[in-house]
């Protein structure tokens, strides 16, 4: 009988020993998993930071280019206004040149060639304005995409925090599960 109890005690001690080894392995695996999750989170955060910095640099460069283009458009329109005032002044010049009919014919022929290119210039200016409007729309879309990406990255960060919390709770539960084994005399 004592031999049977001794055998049962040895078997129980063996089971407890195996259980503790399994729990220690499980705890170390959970620790490794948590460390890996933290490392992944840090790398993801670095990637996000560098991406956001690059996007800021690109955005500021695009803003500078658009600003430069729009300021040049102001100068172009100012020069066009000056040209139109010069064109108005040409009518008074025609009166003074009335005595030189041959020269006036040459001037009128040259002016006709300039006038033919004016509609093409107007079309080009209108096309540039349309392109700037389209670029502004594209920048707005890019800003919306950046906002969406920032929101998604925030959600991903929250989900990583939730996973870490769950793993912490699991580790705590595993420790609590192994607590009753401390009551046995053969530790």
Q: What is the pLDDT of residue 145?
A: 81
3-class DSSP string for 50-93: HHHHHHHHHHHHHHHHHHHHHHHHHHHHHHHHHHHHHHHHHHHH
pTM: 0.32
pLDDT for 23 equals: 92
pLDDT value for 53: 95
Average pLDDT of adjacent 10-residue blocks, the chain of 187 residues: 79 88 92 93 93 93 84 71 64 55 64 69 80 83 83 83 82 73 63
Q: What is the pLDDT of residue 75?
A: 74
pLDDT of residue 76: 66
Predicted local confidence at residue 46, as pLDDT: 94
Q: For position 100, what pLDDT does the model report? A: 58
Residues composing the chain: 187
């Amino acid at each position: 009988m004592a031999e049977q109890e001794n055998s049962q005690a040895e078997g129980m001690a063996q089971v407890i020993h195996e259980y503790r080894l399994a729990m220690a392995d499980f705890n170390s695996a959970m620790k490794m998993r948590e460390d890996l999750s933290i490392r992944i989170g840090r790398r993801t955060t670095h990637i996000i930071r560098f991406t956001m910095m690059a996007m800021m640099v690109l955005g500021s460069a695009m803003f500078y280019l658009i600003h430069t283009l729009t300021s040049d458009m102001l100068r172009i329109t100012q020069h066009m206004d000056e040209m139109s005032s010069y064109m108005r002044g040409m009518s008074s010049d025609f009166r003074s040149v009335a005595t030189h009919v041959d020269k006036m014919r040459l001037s009128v022929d040259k002016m006709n060639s300039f006038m033919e290119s004016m509609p093409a210039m107007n079309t080009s200016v209108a096309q540039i304005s349309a392109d700037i409007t389209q670029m502004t729309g594209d920048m707005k879309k890019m800003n919306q995409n950046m906002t969406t990406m920032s929101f998604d990255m925030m959600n991903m960060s929250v989900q990583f925090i939730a996973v870490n919390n769950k793993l912490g709770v699991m580790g705590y539960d595993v420790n609590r599960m192994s607590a009753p084994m401390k009551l046995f005399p053969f530790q």
